[in-house]
Amino acid sequence: MSLQNYALAAATGPAPVRHPNNSQSSSSQPSNPQSQSQPSQQSQQSQQSQQSQQSQQSQQSQMPPPPLPARFLNRSAISKAKKRKPDPPEVIEARYARLGVIPPPKLTNQLRFKLFIERINRRQWSYLSNVVNPTLLFNGEKMTLYELTLLLKSQYLEPMRIAEMVGGRVFPNPPERDIKRFESDPLMARVVVTGADGGETARHLFVDFEDGKISGVWEMQEEVPRRRKRDMRKKFKTVGLPTRRRELEEGKVEDLEDWYREYIGVINSGAEAMREFLGAYCRESGVKRNGILLPIERYIGLMADVQEAVEGLTFEVTNVVADEERQMVAARIEFVGTPVKMYMGAAPTGDEVEWAEHVFYWLDAGKIAEVISIVDWEAYREGLGQ
């Protein structure tokens, strides 16, 4: 330290010691009364502003919400009015064709039956619940889906293909995916079974639906002729479907179900009524039944023969489906009567017998041209204990 600084320090005395707390308190104290009044005024103003904001918020919360503009009052009705109507099927199909895209399959009962057959062929038993109800009727017997699966595993061993279907074409079913509006819309299918030896037999299945799934199946299997059973060298081939028919619009029948019931009514009236009136329902050149062309007289004779052999025989149409566009009818007919003569290899016993038939009809110019039928003659013989 220099002499001058030392003299100056001695004259002024030691510097005061400041404590940290004292320094803070001293520094926080205002130097004049005006500085003391300013913070108190600011705090009062802030409290008043907070109180006013709180009162405004409370008043706003108590006030009802402001009314919505008119354009928002009926938004649902406006959206429904502006909702685009679905395009007709023709427009949708044309759009797919223009884009070169394969359209999705139509949700019909025919599609459900195709999936049913596909699941059996692929042995995909766990997927049957997608197309079959938990309980159903199979040949008139109530069973569960589990019991049906066991039956299919044991009896449906060979691959199957669907040759023909009638009915089950309602689309969409159900409309707008509302299961409450589902239509039963049954169908009849002809299924061809290919055996291990390459031979073919057919099954006719009448299928009913409920709640979008199969609820009933009535099955009938083709019986191989005895002469073909004896000759094992020849593979049995089932009858093929009709390939050529004339213009369907000529003499087209509009209400095929009523027309068909009238046809069965003529048959139930007996041989004389058939000879007189059945020509109005059958093609003049004859009817091809199961691949064999029969003159009308011989076609009538087939039904007259069974009426003569079975006393009190009646043809009851229990199920019928029709396709006016393709002029086709498919039906399940149940027979009841008492055999009095030897017929189909069974002797009469005096007992009443019940059996059935699943049959397809193809019309040509408004008249029956071809018939493919499977009759359950096994049930007929079993009814007589033979």
Domains along the chain with CATH numbers: 109-230 (3.10.450.50), 256-383 (3.10.450.50)
Neighbours of 287 (CB within 10 A): 24
246/342: higher pLDDT: 342
pLDDT band at 130 (very low <50, low <70, confident <90, very high): very high
Q: Per-residue pLDDT for 200 more than 70?
A: yes
Comparing 2-11, 259-268, 308-317, 358-367, which segment has the lowest mean pLDDT?
A: 2-11
Comparing 34-38, 71-75, 123-127, 184-188, which segment has the lowest mean pLDDT?
A: 34-38
Distance CA 343, CA 347 (A): 7
Q: Please, what's the largest Cα pairwise distance for the chain? A: 161
Q: Which pLDDT value is given to residue 386?
A: 84
Query: Residue 81 CA to chain centroid, in angstroms?
Result: 30
pLDDT band at 233 (very low <50, low <70, confident <90, very high): low
User: Residue range 200-229: average pLDDT?
Assistant: 88
Q: Per-residue pLDDT for 168 more than 50?
A: yes
Distance CA 331, CA 87 (A): 35
55/272: higher pLDDT: 272
Distance CA 334, CA 336 (A): 7
Q: Per-residue pLDDT for 377 more than 60?
A: yes
Distance CA 313, CA 320 (A): 20
CB 115 within 8 A of CB 189: no
207-217: per-residue pLDDT in tens? 999 999 999 99
| CA-based nearest residue to 278, from 287, 262, 266 | 266
6/165: higher pLDDT: 165
Q: Which pLDDT value is given to residue 103?
A: 80
Residues 6+ apart with CB under 8 A from 281: 259, 262, 263, 266, 367, 368
Q: Per-residue pLDDT for 28 more than 50?
A: no
Q: Which pLDDT value is given to residue 306?
A: 96
Q: Per-residue pLDDT for 47 more than 80?
A: no
113-128: per-residue pLDDT in tens? 999 999 999 999 999 9
Distance CA 273, CA 233 (A): 44
Mean pLDDT of the chain: 84
Distance CA 334, CA 321 (A): 15
294-340: per-residue pLDDT in tens? 999 999 999 999 999 999 999 999 999 999 999 999 999 999 999 99
Q: Which pLDDT value is given to residue 27?
A: 45
pLDDT band at 198 (very low <50, low <70, confident <90, very high): confident
Report the first-to-last Cα separation within the chain, whole angstroms.
145
